[in-house]
Amino acid sequence: MKFSTLLRHLREGSRNIIRNGWMSFASMSSIFISLFILGVFVLLAMNVNSMADQIESRVQIRVFLQTDVEQAKVTELQNKIGNLEEVSKVIIVSKEEGLNILRNSMGVENGDWLEGFNNENNPLPISYTVEVYDPQSIGTVASKIDGINKADETNPINQIKYGQGTIEMMFKVTNTVRNIGFVIVVGLGVTAMLLISNTIKMTIIARRREIGIMKLVGATNAFIRWPFFIEGALIGFVSSVLTTAAVLASYAQIIKVTKLDLSLMLFNLIPLQEAGTTTAMLIMGIGTLIGIWGSTISVRKYLKV
């Protein structure tokens, strides 16, 4: 193809958008609405996912030792637990730290309950905080720690706590939420594609006659296809840029509002920059592809005439 012909196709493709004003507007609106809904759900799914991650990452095992365990034993146990493949970190919480943590968790009002205790008469045992790589493996790790305890004839561990029961329930909920989010996003993606390609098809059916005339004056199929291809890509791209702007502007607004009114909110929304890149690429990618795909498919059908 000559360069001047390529320029001609670009010119014609963009002019066609103006010439077929209403049809272009219809396609763009349909792309905009479909992708907007998709974008909203993608952001929602991303945030639900991140919330689930945040909840899960707070999961840890607290291992309380008997009060009379020797220092050598404390180190030995720490190593044994630390050597488990699922475990990422084992932190020793000394008696003093334990007391401080307890004080803090009881707050200012009830703090005086612990008034009389100091380093001399600290009643608390030494404990470990165990963190794992995969939060969902926490139950297994807990029973392995229990196994270590049973293998040791002195039974140095008094108690293993990780929110048994509650945690399993929580994982069930977060997994379900993740799956539902994924299904909704995929479903919306497919719906958007069908809706948009249908609109583009209609605009091309309306131009069947035009294609017939082009063939009559001796235009090759490629020559006819190019401007349609460019038109479709432009419509897809422009509308997805508009959609991205609208979705992200709304999201920025939501972040702003939640920061003001819900500063005590349990979870953080994904920051705009991080969420924006993924969403923008997704929306613009799908939008442009759909534009090209819709116009290519429909033109091919009428080229056979």
Partner 1 sequence: MIEMHDIWKTYADGTHALRGVSVRIDRNEFVYVVGPSGAGKSTFMKLIYREEVPTKGQLSVNGFNIGKLKPRKIPYVRRNIGVIFQDFRLLPKLTIYENVAFAMEVIEAPRRVIKKRTMEVLDLVGLRHKHNSLPSQLSGGEQQRVSIARAIVNNPSVIVADEPTGNLDPETSAGIMNLLEEINFRGSTIIMATHNKEIVNSMRKRVIAIENGLIVRDEARGEYGYEI
Q: Which helix H or strand E contains 57, and what residues bound it? A: helix 21-57
Kindly state the smallest distance separating residue 213's Cβ from partner 1, in Å. 5
Nearer CB in complex with partner 1: 232/287: 232
Distance CA 240, CA 263 (A): 32
Distance CA 305, CA 122 (A): 92
Stretch that binds partner 1, among 1-9, 78-86, 228-236, 254-262 (CB under 8 A): 1-9
Distance CA 41, CA 184 (A): 8
Query: What secondary structure does DSSP assign to 137-148, as a single string?
Result: GHHHHHHHHHHH
Q: Is 213 in the site for partner 1 (CB under 8 A)?
A: yes
Contacts 24+ apart (CB under 8 A), 32-36: 32/239, 32/242, 32/243, 32/246, 34/188, 34/191, 34/192, 34/195, 34/196, 35/192, 35/239, 35/240, 35/243, 35/283, 35/286, 35/287, 36/243, 36/246, 36/247
In sequence order, what are the residues at sequence separation of 6 or more whose Cβ sits closer than 8 angstroms to the Cβ of residue 279? 39, 42, 43, 46, 244, 247, 248, 251
User: Quick one: tokens of 72?
Assistant: 């050598």
Instruction: Find where tokens 């707070």 sit.
Output: 58
Residue 205 near residue 300, CB atoms below 8 Å: no
Q: Is 218 in the site for partner 1 (CB under 8 A)?
A: yes
Nearer CB in complex with partner 1: 2/58: 2
Q: Is 206 in the site for partner 1 (CB under 8 A)?
A: no
Figure out which of the listed residues 117, 223, 237, 293 binds partner 1, where binding follows CB under 8 A.
223
Stretch that binds partner 1, among 24-32, 210-218, 242-250, 254-262 (CB under 8 A): 210-218
Nearer CB in complex with partner 1: 204/286: 204
Nearer CB in complex with partner 1: 58/304: 304
Kindly state the smallest distance separating residue 217's Cβ from partner 1, in Å. 4
Q: Is 220 in the site for partner 1 (CB under 8 A)?
A: yes
Q: Is 214 in the site for partner 1 (CB under 8 A)?
A: yes
In sequence order, what are the residues at sequence separation of 6 or more whose Cβ sits closer than 8 angstroms to the Cβ of residue 136? 56, 171
Nearer CB in complex with partner 1: 31/207: 207
Q: Is 266 in the site for partner 1 (CB under 8 A)?
A: no
Q: Is 22 in the site for partner 1 (CB under 8 A)?
A: no
Kindly state the smallest distance separating residue 2's Cβ from partner 1, in Å. 5
Distance CA 10, CA 27 (A): 19
Stretch that binds partner 1, among 3-11, 59-67, 131-139, 169-177 (CB under 8 A): 3-11
22 CB-contact burial (10 Å; exposed 0-12 / middle 13-18 / buried 19+): exposed
Stretch that binds partner 1, among 84-92, 145-153, 214-222, 237-245 (CB under 8 A): 214-222
Q: Is 301 in the site for partner 1 (CB under 8 A)?
A: no
Stretch that binds partner 1, among 30-38, 82-90, 204-212, 292-300 (CB under 8 A): 204-212
| Residues at the interface with partner 1 (CB under 8 A) | 2, 4-5, 8, 19-20, 209-210, 212-221, 223
